[in-house]
Amino acid sequence: MDSLFVPQILEHQQNRFPLLFIDRIDDLIPGESATGVKNFTYNEWFFPAHFEGNPSVPGFVLIESLVQTFIMTFLSIPEHKGKQTSFIKLNNATFQKKIVPGEQLVIRAKLDTFKRGLAIGSASGFVDGSLAVSADFVIALPDVLAKFNPSSGLDQK
């Protein structure tokens, strides 16, 4: 599959500016894996506040960049394209390297299982080939998950 740039990424997921952090998706294998790219430039909205004179990428931005790449592994499946996602669990988050303006984060995401609207997998981010950040995720597709809720078809009175 060819690289996906912001317009195509926006077709697949619901994240929007200022919280869309992925610039490009490469090596996408729907239902299996994706590689994301985030270029951190000095004019990012969070750098002036984090921290003046010593800017670095906040941890939440790194985690969100990882998860935005990860969700492309299953939102690239045609029947799930554009669906809403919900964080269920974040495990084993590690921050190995401070990331500063001018650096590029290359994210490799892997989908381990996708059943009944629950996606389980991981993502790791690298700067210049060195591990910078990694985490494991459980993400839900609420509308798919609801189909498997035993009480979802019952009249709630």
pLDDT digits (tens, 9 = 90+) for 107-127: 999 999 999 999 999 999 999
3-state secondary structure labels for all residues of 101-114: CCCEEEEEEEEEEE
Placement of tokens 């299953």 in the chain: 74
For the chain, the domains span 4-146
Residue 105: alpha-carbon gap to chain centroid: 13
Q: Over the stretch 38-76, which tens digit does the pLDDT of each residue have?
A: 999 999 999 988 888 999 999 999 999 999 999 999 999
Measured distance CA(120)–CA(70) in Å, rounded: 9
Say whether domain 4-146 belongs to CATH 3.10.129.10: yes
| pTM of the shown model | 0.92
Active-site residue identified among 20, 46, 50, 100: 50
Would you call 50 a catalytic residue per the annotation? yes
pLDDT at 21: 96
